[in-house]
Structure 1
Amino acid sequence: MVPHARSVDDYAEHVATLLAGLFDDAATTVPLDDATGRVTAHPVSSPIDLPIFRNSQMDGYAVDAASVAHPPVTLPVRGLVPAGPHSPAPHVPGTAVKIMTGGAVPDGADAIVPVEDTRPDGENVVIERARRSGEFVRERGSDVHAGTVLLGEGTVLAPRHIAVLAAVGLREVAVRRRPRVAIVTTGDELVPAGTALRPGELFDSNGIALAAAARANGAEVVSLAHSSDRPEEFRARLAEATAAADVVFTSGGISMGDFEVVRETLAPLGAQFGHIAMQPGGPQGSGVVDDTPVLSFPGNPVSTLVSFEVFARPLLRRAAGLPAVTARSRTLREDLHSPDGKRQFLRGRTSGDGVELVSGPGSHLVAAMAWADVLIDVPADATSLTAGTSVTVRPL
């Protein structure tokens, strides 16, 4: 164990305190076509009855049920009611009105005879099956009455929720404000995808991965930038990030080697850097720059993602109003070993109530992260666990 390493739980509490300003429950109003995945800030009530008028559930004939009680019955047809704007004349008992699905049911008619239960007879229609009062008539307010709460506060808006809001005539909805996240990756060795790699260069996956992770957990990514290892460039990228965001994530440049640009730039500003008793993701940094909290993750791709999962993901979801992703128990399908004093987050794949290892603990094994669906949370004091042991897993 690294001397003076901080526990995962202790550091997580520190990060939660640092990011406490995110939890303001602020609301914003967005149009419905931009609301999927957002979280309602308040209960939403219907402004109207739905249906707003009596209408037909079927293509057929509007009748009074008493007139068709003893089929077959021949009735004169007094007109046609299409779907759409139309004000039909009041119903005359002993007659029928041809009506389309969604058409307004004439006052006085109390049943719809589906067209398949009829046959035409010149200007008349033969009703071949009786219908009870109310059959195939959608009464006003039979779905929902004006003032009824459609969605509670804290609802994560799915397409079915958008559908009902649109159906009652709403064009926008009040939702929780998304936390604004800026991301700065660092390292001379990192280049964007599509670049021809030279010896010693790597594609920058951390920026796009952190941005995807932030968006998937309720955040708005307002800035995504890369900096070389030159302090003046990093300071410029950081200033742009802190000006735009509620929280900034950086990756790389925080270990004990040379060219640790994040550590060298932020430590003099009061940021803290040290080791957490975990693997991967041991080196961590945190501070406040220009009144904006900054979390600094290590640069290895898996370390970056695991750091986000453990320290940032729960807080972003809470700030956005999303439900917490809860850990669960699974049974190990194989033995595993873990270093003493370090809490391991191993990549795993679940099947039924079991979980198996996907790869070793290496922080460079990013493909294995893609193949995993959970992180196996191995306690710091566990050096080996045997197959059949119940372990805690964190869904990815």
Structure 2
Amino acid sequence: MRPLDEHRAAALALAHPLTPVEVGLDDAWGTVLADDVRTDGPLPRWDNSAMDGYAVRSADVATASADAPVVLRVVADLPAGSSSAPLLAAGTAARIMTGAPVPPGADAIVPVEVTDAGTTTVEIRAAAPVGAHVRRAGEDAVAGDLVVAAGTLLGAAHVSALASVSAATVRVHRRPRVAVVSTGDELVTPGSPLERGQIPDSNSWLLAAAVRDAGGTPVRIGPVGDDPAALRALLGDLDGTVDAIVTSGGVSVGAYDVVKAALRDDPGVEFVPVAVQPGKPQGLGRLPGGTPVFALPGNPVSSFASFEMFVRPALLRMRGLADVERPTVVAPAGEQWRTPPGRAQLMPVRWVRATGDAADPAARLDADAAAGPAARPAAGAVVVRATAGGSGSHLVTRLALAEGLAVIPADVDEVLVGDLLTVLKVTP
């Protein structure tokens, strides 16, 4: 069997950052910047007021106080956005709003709270040293400063920074379009009447949502029946029209394993057993047109865990991200369970309070289920299996309880209470 890390490396080797495209700022959020963005001038562009008040010459108000105010003649009114630049002579002031350019001759701002305005004059009741409440040009950045670096995942603050330097468009790596194909004659669309032997197609919805969560654009196709020729034709039509294809089901050793039958003669695709539980049967490679294909097992927990391990990192790399790993935490186990010999285990887990009844994790699990995830403590918590069935690959409804995925190394035969586990954080 192929080790888990080796198969992850093979999956990542299929992925490369997608060709950059030019997008407007409306479409930039959530994408990865392809080029450095630098300032073409100082920020702020000019000295401007940090307060609503009066622009003054500091020398004129050096002696001002509440008991001995200074009276200045008001010669201008400067709202934010004003292009007016009146020269302030000695003994004059300009009423100014926050953000408005400081007029020539002024070197300080007196806040409106320490003034008393007349019709054409203003009474200043406090001194203002040079530079008081003035935002200097270039205080934020000077020409040529790096604003946002290539490889940055653009959030709201980044988009704001790009707008502040007038970057109306930017080059970003586009989101990968990923075809999601679920296979199996037993699958029917959710909401359809079920006949004996049929089940709702949950995998295509699971994987499409996982693609979207990874920053891709899913193209959900399914369910597709167990006809190798039809599936081969479908994959041929998709090859070259999407950036990746993810299939679920039909990769094991059964008589109706349609994905394996459809692609077994394709030299660019391999099917291998991986030393992991769940998710032992896996397939991956490139179709003749160069499109990466990830063939995942069909049991829902297997599909979920396999996507997390092998597909999600590849999609993040396609988006241009250097860090493709989920955030992890190290947490103690709150209960004991066996692990499969010689295989890594991917155990869906959830957080619970570490209470004195460690001998009864099921009772503790029930108590925390009632409290809800928001009630779990930030410290002093342990992880337990998301469901008593553990990593059973068919337990799709119980998968909704999982808040993390504990990765148990292949050389561990049993998890004991208190063992420190590495947990992938798969929920916000």
Of the structure 1 ranges 236-245 and 220-229, higher mean CA displacement relative to structure 2 is found in 220-229
Report what 1:113 is aligned to.
Answer: 110
Q: Distance in 2 between the 1:58 and 1:15 partners?
A: 56
**Using a 3 Å threshold, how does the CA distance of structure 1 residues 95 and 288 change in structure 2: closer, same or farther?**
closer
Q: 1:390 aligns with which of 404, 409, 420?
A: 420
Q: What pairs up with 1:42-53 in 2 under 5 angstroms?
A: 42-53=35-46
Aligned-residue offset at 1:151: 1.4
Of the structure 1 ranges 100-109 and 190-199, higher mean CA displacement relative to structure 2 is found in 190-199
Aligned-residue offset at 1:73: 0.6
Q: Is the 8 A contact 1:182 1:242 kept in 2?
A: no
Aligned-residue offset at 1:221: 3.2
3-state SS of 1:87 partner: coil
Tell me if 1:354 matches 2:382: yes
Q: Distance in 1 between the 2:35 and 2:264 partners?
A: 42
Q: Return the letter of the residue paired with 1:84.
A: G
Spell out, residue by residue over 1:88-124, the C-alpha distance to the aligned partner (whole angstroms, 9 max, x if none).
3211211111112222221001111111111123421
Q: Return the letter of the residue paired with 2:275.
A: A
Q: Give me the identity figure in percent.
A: 41
3-state SS of 2:32 partner: coil
Q: Is the 8 A contact 1:281 1:304 kept in 2?
A: yes
Aligned-residue offset at 1:16: 3.4
Report what 1:280 is aligned to.
Answer: 278
Q: Distance in 2 between the 1:176 and 1:216 partners?
A: 17
Report what 2:375 is aligned to.
Answer: none
Q: Return the letter of the residue paired with 2:22.
A: T
Aligned-residue offset at 1:235: 2.4
Report what 1:202 is aligned to.
Answer: 199
Q: Return the letter of the residue paired with 1:185.
A: S
Tell me if 1:64 matches 2:57: yes
Report what 1:30 is aligned to.
Answer: 23
**Using a 3 Å threshold, how does the CA distance of structure 1 residues 224 and 56 change in structure 2: closer, same or farther?**
farther
Q: Distance in 2 between the 1:139 and 1:199 partners?
A: 75
Report what 1:8 is aligned to.
Answer: 4
Q: Is the 8 A contact 1:179 1:220 kept in 2?
A: yes
Report what 2:369 is aligned to.
Answer: none
3-state SS of 2:140 partner: coil
TM-score (norm 2): 0.84
Spell out, residue by residue over 1:227-277, the C-alpha distance to the aligned partner (whole angstroms, 9 max, x if none).
122234322321232131232111012223333221111113244334222
User: What residue ranges of structure 1 are gaps of 5+ in the alignment?
Assistant: none
Q: Is the 8 A contact 1:32 1:171 kept in 2?
A: yes
3-state SS of 1:66 partner: helix
Q: Distance in 1 between the 2:56 and 2:186 partners?
A: 79
Of the structure 1 ranges 316-325 and 58-67, higher mean CA displacement relative to structure 2 is found in 316-325
**Using a 3 Å threshold, how does the CA distance of structure 1 residues 243 and 152 change in structure 2: closer, same or farther?**
closer
Report what 1:305 is aligned to.
Answer: 304
Q: Distance in 2 between the 1:6 and 1:62 partners?
A: 73
Q: Distance in 2 between the 1:249 and 1:294 partners?
A: 6
Q: Distance in 1 between the 2:8 and 2:77 partners?
A: 69
Q: Is the 8 A contact 1:183 1:250 kept in 2?
A: yes
3-state SS of 1:182 partner: strand
User: What residue ranges of structure 2 are gaps of 5+ in the alignment?
Assistant: 353-378
Aligned-residue offset at 1:6: 2.8
Q: Return the letter of the residue paired with 2:271.
A: F
Report what 2:357 is aligned to.
Answer: none
3-state SS of 1:392 partner: strand
Structure 1 segments of 4+ aligned residues over 6 angstroms from their partners: none
Tell me if 1:243 matches 2:244: no
Q: Is the 8 A contact 1:40 1:154 kept in 2?
A: yes
Aligned-residue offset at 1:298: 0.8
- How many residues are matched? 389
Tell me if 1:231 matches 2:228: yes
Aligned-residue offset at 1:181: 2.2
Q: What pairs up with 1:120-269 in 2 under 5 angstroms?
A: 120-222=117-219, 224-269=221-266
Q: Is the 8 A contact 2:204 2:220 kept in 1?
A: no
